[in-house]
């Protein structure tokens, strides 16, 4: 895996390179630029707004007029199902009976009361959603996205474009039928205050996404119309087959939980001989079916693509999602190999993205980088989010991290005395530094490999319990943004843990000084000298760069 440089075709940015050896050929796309001979857009102030252009201070847009219907139909259905089903059935029955009065409904109520009951909620719910639509406006300026909303309580929100962490286009089922989409974008606030525009025309949502990401990247349009940014093309990287998704769901931990729960639920029926006790298994089956359905619908038609805007993820059965994660926004990645998946060579890849957080089923689905894939596919997606592995043979190193044990490929393992605290996984627990990231290996039944880029390390901590103090062991915790990846190097020798604690702090500070700009298409400055920062050592005190031991280079020789 190698790195990718910014793309020249998107504005005046430098030219783009290629992805490394683990990614498929052509995964790095050319940039985007307006097509030659494209029609000249009108001036946004004089002739009205240009979707995707930069708005003047007095120019605001509204979402699609059908948004109240898309958002309110489910509330209407729920209201009529809960409150109006019996009344409606009785009313139809009384009107069909010739002996009944045409002026009276069920239970002696006049027909006009029933009609009023049916019409008033419709009017009220639509009025509420219409008012919400009417008072919701948005604009895109040179540096911010602004959304004003609220009827009784007004809310004015704005997000800096260079702080946008990720942006999604979501299409619920009704919105898909109407060719509408919701635009959702995140800033670094743990995912509790995502900004949404519900709903826009699909092409307008895609153009607005291009504008926001282009401005966040520092891209400008053509010389004649720099405010208009064309949508970046994408190159497919991989597609997860539906049969593999189905197999992964059946072989997941839900099946084990279902079997255990079914045995526990059926045991009283077997002991008592009462057949009605079998009904206790119904909630168990229902819960398992719900979990299977959620996994399948979230992973169905899962596709990974690459564009100049970043990594794009497409997935969904009834409700479709199109995520875009810009370069450098992934804070940590983990690769899981569950026990029942290992005979098939399947893995799951998850990520921490600033702004996503962990709250709710939707957020958990958005942190999945690959729901189920082969090892080669794992390398392909890692090449997209971690383009600089920092080792000469990344395939061997990552294979040792996912499948290996002990000190293979330069990993520093937990000492043998840690078997008293972790008898199953003590041989696998360990870590390895590369020039760009820290690899943390753990787990036996479910093998895990966490990868944290040095510049994304938020803080480092040492942790030691009473039994660990007795055995001379300690944990090293790497703090990342909220998400499913929680890197912990377990049960290291105290001296090794202290070295890792110090070295990781040094590497994180050095990497942050070298990190590229927030506007990633402006290019990354060439790395400078390390100013005498001490080298990184492994558990034996040997300085390592790449995959081979070497004497510590002078500051001017290190990159």
The residues with which 156 forms a beta bridge, in sequence order, are 148
Distance from the first to the final alpha carbon of the chain: 18
- Same-domain status, 434 and 539: yes
- Same-domain status, 291 and 349: no
- Same-domain status, 455 and 521: yes
Cα dist from 260 to 151, 264, 279, 446, whole Å: 51, 6, 16, 19
pLDDT at 166: 83
Q: Classify residue 22: in a domain, yes or no.
A: no
Task: Mark which of 195, 224, 253 sits at the end of a domain.
Answer: 224
Which residue, among 395, 331, 326, 327, has the nearest Cα to 358 in the 3D structure? Answer: 331
Q: Classify residue 305: in a domain, yes or no.
A: no
CA gap 440, 355 in Å, rounded:
23
Going through 309-417 in order, the beta strands assigned E by DSSP cover: 310-315, 320-325, 330-337, 347-353, 368-373, 412-413
Domain carrying residue 183: 143-149+156-224
Q: Classify residue 310: in a domain, yes or no.
A: no
Q: Classify residue 312: in a domain, yes or no.
A: no
pLDDT at 46: 30
Number of domains composing the chain? 4
- Same-domain status, 266 and 203: no
Q: Classify residue 12: in a domain, yes or no.
A: no
Q: Is 404 exposed, middle or buried (0-12, 13-18, 19+ CB in 10 A)?
A: buried
Q: Classify residue 3: in a domain, yes or no.
A: no
- Same-domain status, 256 and 187: no
Cα 557 to chain centroid distance, Å, stands at 38
For the whole prediction, is pTM greater than 0.85?
Answer: no
- Same-domain status, 399 and 465: yes
In the three-class reduction of DSSP (H, G, I as helix; E, B as strand; rest coil), residue 513 is classed as helix
Task: Mark which of 224, 251, 266 sits at the end of a domain.
Answer: 224
Element (H, E) at 137: strand 137-140
| Beta carbons of 352 and 340 less than 8 angstroms apart | no
pLDDT at 94: 57
Extract the residue ranges of the chain whose pLDDT is less than 50: 1-51, 101-106, 190-191, 524-559
- Same-domain status, 364 and 458: yes
- Same-domain status, 379 and 409: yes
pLDDT at 26: 39
Q: Classify residue 232: in a domain, yes or no.
A: no
Task: Mark which of 75, 100, 134 sits at the end of a domain.
Answer: 134
Q: Classify residue 53: in a domain, yes or no.
A: no
Element (H, E) at 120: helix 111-134
- Same-domain status, 211 and 166: yes
CA gap 542, 532 in Å, rounded:
18
- Same-domain status, 165 and 122: no
- Same-domain status, 423 and 491: yes
- Same-domain status, 400 and 538: yes
The overall average pLDDT reported for the chain is 76
| Beta carbons of 101 and 112 less than 8 angstroms apart | no
């Amino acid at each position: 895996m190698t790195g990718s440089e910014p793309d020249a075709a998107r504005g005046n940015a430098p030219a783009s390179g290629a992805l490394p050896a683990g990614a498929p050929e052509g995964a790095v796309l050319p940039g985007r630029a307006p097509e030659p001979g494209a029609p000249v857009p009108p001036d946004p102030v004089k002739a009205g707004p240009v979707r995707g252009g930069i708005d003047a201070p007095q120019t605001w847009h509204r979402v699609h007029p059908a948004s109240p219907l898309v958002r309110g139909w489910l509330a209407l259905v729920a209201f009529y199902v809960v409150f109006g089903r019996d009344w409606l059935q009785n009313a139809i029955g009384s009107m069909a009976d010739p002996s009944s009065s045409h002026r009276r409904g069920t239970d002696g109520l006049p027909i006009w009361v029933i009609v009023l009951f049916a019409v008033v909620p419709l009017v009220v719910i639509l009025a509420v959603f219409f008012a919400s639509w009417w008072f919701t406006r948005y604009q895109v300026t040179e540096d911010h996205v602004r959304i004003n909303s609220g009827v009784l309580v007004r809310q004015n929100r704005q997000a800096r474009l260079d702080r946008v962490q990720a942006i999604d286009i979501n299409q619920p089922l009704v919105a898909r039928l109407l060719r509408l989409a919701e635009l959702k974008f995140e800033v670094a606030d743990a995912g509790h205050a995502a900004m949404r525009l519900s709903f826009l025309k699909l092409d307008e949502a895609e153009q607005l996404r291009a504008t926001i990401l282009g401005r966040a990247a520092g891209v400008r349009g053509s010389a004649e119309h720099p405010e208009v940014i064309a949508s970046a093309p994408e190159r497919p990287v991989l597609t997860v087959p539906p049969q593999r998704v189905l197999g992964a769901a059946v072989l997941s931990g839900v099946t084990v939980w279902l079997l255990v729960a079914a045995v526990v639920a059926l045991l009283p029926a077997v002991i008592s001989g009462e057949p009605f006790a079998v009904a206790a298994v119904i909630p168990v089956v229902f819960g398992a079916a719900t979990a299977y359905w959620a996994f399948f619908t979230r992973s169905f038609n899962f596709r990974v693509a690459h564009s100049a805007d970043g990594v794009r993820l497409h997935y969904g059965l009834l409700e479709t999602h199109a995520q875009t994660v810009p370069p450098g926004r992934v804070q940590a990645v983990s690769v899981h190999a569950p026990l029942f998946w290992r005979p098939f060579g399947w893995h799951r890849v998850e990520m921490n993205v600033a702004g996503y957080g962990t709250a709710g089923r939707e957020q958990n689905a958005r942190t999945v980088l690959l729901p189920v894939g082969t090892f080669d596919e794992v390398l392909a997606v890692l090449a997209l989010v971690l383009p600089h592995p920092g080792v000469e043979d990344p395939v061997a190193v990552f294979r040792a991290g996912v499948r290996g044990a002990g000190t293979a490929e330069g990993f520093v393992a937990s000492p043998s005395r840690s078997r008293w605290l972790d008898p199953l996984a003590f041989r696998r627990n360990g870590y390895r530094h590369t020039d760009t990231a820290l690899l943390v290996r753990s787990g036996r039944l479910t093998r895990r490999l966490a990868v944290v880029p040095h510049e994304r390390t938020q803080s480092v901590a040492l942790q030691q319990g009473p039994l660990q103090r007795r055995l001379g062991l300690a944990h090293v915790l790497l703090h990342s943004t909220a998400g499913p990846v929680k890197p912990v190097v377990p049960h290291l020798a105290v001296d090794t843990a202290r070295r890792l604690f110090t070295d990781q702090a040094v590497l994180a500070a050095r990497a942050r000084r070298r990190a590229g700009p927030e506007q990633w298409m402006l290019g990354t400055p060439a790395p400078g000298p390390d100013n005498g920062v001490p080298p990184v050592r492994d558990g034996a005190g040997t300085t390592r760069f790449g995959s081979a031991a070497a004497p510590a280079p002078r500051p001017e020789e290190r990159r």
